[in-house]
Amino acid sequence: MQSLLKILLRYSNFLVFIALEVAAFLLISLNNAAPRSSLLSTANEVVAWQHEVVSTVNSYFSLRHQNDLLAAENADLRNQICAMDSAENGYALHYVDAKVVQMTTDELHNYITINRGSKDGVMRGQGVRNSEGVVGIVRTVGRNYSVVLPVINTRMNLSCRFAKNDYIGTLQWDGKDSRFASLADVAAHMVVNTGDTIVTSGLSPVFPEGVPVGIVESSQLKEGDSYYTIRVRLHTNFKRLKYVEVVQNAHQTEMEELTNGMD
């Protein structure tokens, strides 16, 4: 017994090292598998507040560009009102505007923090877009802030379709360039042209159908492959992202419960 204690004491530093590393790896695997805690991420009030202060100062430097975007968006919204008057689209959608307080664009796992949280009705799984196109999906919700998983994260899979013929594909990101993503699962019998428009498929309740995603930059069909390699130029300029909208679908919970009930 005494010799066991001696050994434990002798290697106590190494044991502390192992214990701490095990704790770290547990946190990593938790973070990779399940929804992250809002306290231990940038949805954390203190960290997000700091970022918000800095981005408030930063935002003055891009006012001109933001004004252009807002003007364009206003025009777009007016068009949508006209379209809605003529045809009821069947979705019960509500948009919540949000400001980006922190984001990365050139890591493998990029995240965006926005200044809207559960008190504004934001929930995990809601879509996020801006006037240019899709941005991502809400992953973690704090009271005042949320973390969004953008399409430029290697963990993201987004169901999309060609605007011209409704053919479905999956949008993925290779971790290299925030301007481009790739479209997988497009079979060889499809005719893909450079410049084809890609929009959201509307197959999941996250985004309504037809939110702009990007255009085909190049497509390649290697000898013997049954699927295309398609490079998509994203409409959303992530490097200058400042304002986004969270898409809240009144039927989302019901639709998800139905789908989950099928398993």
Q: Does 41 bind other proteins (CB under 8 A)?
A: yes
Q: Is 59 an interacting residue with respect to other proteins (CB under 8 A)?
A: no
Which stretch in 83-91, 100-108, 207-215, 219-227 sits in contact with other proteins by CB under 8 A?
Answer: 100-108
HSE-up of residue 66 (Cα within 13 Å, Cβ side): 14
Helices (H) and strands (E) in the chain, counts: 5, 12
Residue 173 near residue 154 (C-beta atoms within 8 A): yes
Decide whether 59 or 204 has the Cβ nearer to other proteins.
59
Nearer to other proteins, 47 or 96 (CB): 47
The reply on whether position 146 binds other proteins by CB under 8 A is no
CB burial of residue 175 (10 Å; 0-12, 13-18, 19+):
middle
182 sits near other proteins (criterion: CB under 8 A): no
Phi-psi region of 224 (alpha: psi -120 to 50; beta: other; left: phi over 0): left
Distance CA 44, CA 120 (A): 16
**Residue closer to other proteins, measured from CB, 136 or 205:** 136
In the set 100, 111, 169, 200, which binds other proteins (CB under 8 A)? 111
Of these, 99, 109, 231, 242, which contacts other proteins (CB under 8 A)?
109
- The least CB distance from residue 58 to other proteins, in Å, is 9
Closest by CA position to 174, among listed 148, 200, 150, 152: 152
Residues that bind other proteins (CB under 8 A): 12-13, 16-17, 20-21, 23-32, 36-37, 40-42, 44, 47, 50-51, 54, 104-109, 111, 147, 175-176, 239
